[in-house]
Amino acid sequence: MIRSYLLLLFCVTLWGSNFVFGSMLVKEFPPLFLANVRLIFTSLFLILYAWLTKKFVKITLRELGLLVLLGLIGTLANQTAYFNGLLTTDATTASLILSLAPIVTAVLASLFLKEQFTLRMKIGSGIALLGTFFVVGIGAGLSISKGVLLIVIAMVTFSASMIIIRKLTQTMQPFITTVYSTTVGTLFLTPAAMLTLDSTAHISHEAWAWGMLIVTAILMQGVCGIVWNSQLKIVGTGKAAIFLNLQPFVAMLVGFLLLGSQVTAIQAGGSLLIVAGGGAKARRSSESLQRLEPYKSQKPNGKKPVRHVIASNAHRVSDWFFVLYR
């Protein structure tokens, strides 16, 4: 179990650092070009892994339509907003805003998927929003910059893509959904990235920049996702959610060490509120799964035992985290 905790901590540390590395790389490459090249390497890694593990499946026209929509919203719109936002927004603020994604996803799920949005989740959302106000509002002198607005758009489009992914995983395995959606999104992003390049575009010739770009694409968006998903089956989603809440703090620490970014008392206090709010939502989700456990042994109407349904749902939850924090 300790090995699993260390692997989860390793993944979260890299994901939290990814905000800082993105801030560094966006100064070396045009934003869309950077996003596109990273996704190309991520897609190639995922396609290779899917081919080696023989996970490819045929898709229906409905699934293709959802994948196209996911590519437009979850990749083209999301990556465009995210990397352009990092041009003028520090990594700490970006990580804190994006920490709201699970809560916004829960709100959208209650509207479009009719999932329950409980009182505890509402209270947690309010606490997290208050924390965001401290970080983005008071911390920025009650003004919203273009960069912050773009990061908010990235967070909302990310949450919207989660709703589409949940629809897709009703008929497809979550991992192969990730492979197909990442590949389709890359196909949409490539022409858009090429159109933004001109004679004035700065593309770094530094080996460290290209090395960081390729390594972060494969390691953080590919390898860590697979490792995280495998360890979730051992420790469970409830305990893993605690590790995910550490991402903003990792971004703060790495930003301070590598970029010299100052961490204000307002940012620290706001981050605690955001993490507390997100933790309340995660705890509610964990308790919902636990309440299903007493009915494992039942076998209603001659159908498969409920434990098979629970195992299937738990597997989907773990794979959903793989998609969410890739």
Q: 142 Cβ partners below 8 Å, 6+ apart?
A: none
Q: 74 Cβ partners below 8 Å, 6+ apart?
A: 157, 158, 160, 161, 164, 165, 181, 185
199: helix, coil or strand? coil
- Whether residue 45 has pLDDT greater than 90: yes
Beta-strand (E) ranges in 7-155?
A: none
- Give the range among 188-192, 193-197, 199-203, 288-292 with minimum mean pLDDT: 288-292
Taking only the tens place, the pLDDT of each residue in 211-238 is 999 999 999 888 887 887 777 677 766 5
Integer Cα distance of 243 and 34 in angstroms = 28
Integer Cα distance of 88 and 150 in angstroms = 10
Residue 203's pLDDT band, with cuts at 50, 70 and 90, is: very high
The pLDDT value recorded for residue 281 is 55
CA dihedral 33, 35, 36, 41 (to 10 degrees): 120
27: helix, coil or strand? coil
Q: What mean pLDDT value characterizes the chain?
A: 77
**Residue 199 burial (CB count, 10 A):** 4
Alpha-carbon Rg for the chain, nearest whole angstrom, is 20
- Whether residue 79 has pLDDT greater than 70: yes
Residue 141 tokens read as 């002198």
Q: 17 or 139: which carries more pLDDT confidence? A: 17
Through-space distance between the first and last CA atoms of the chain, rounded to whole angstroms: 23
Q: 38 Cβ partners below 8 Å, 6+ apart?
A: 213, 216, 217, 221
CA dihedral 92, 98, 99, 100 (to 10 degrees): 130
Percentage of the chain beyond pLDDT 90 is 29
Taking only the tens place, the pLDDT of each residue in 92-115 is 778 778 877 777 888 888 888 777
185: left (phi over 0), alpha (psi -120 to 50) or beta: alpha
- Whether residue 277 has pLDDT greater than 80: no
Taking only the tens place, the pLDDT of each residue in 281-315 is 555 544 444 443 443 444 444 444 433 333 344 34
Residue 52 tokens read as 């080696």
Residue 123's pLDDT band, with cuts at 50, 70 and 90, is: confident
The pLDDT value recorded for residue 92 is 73
Whole-prediction pTM:
0.75
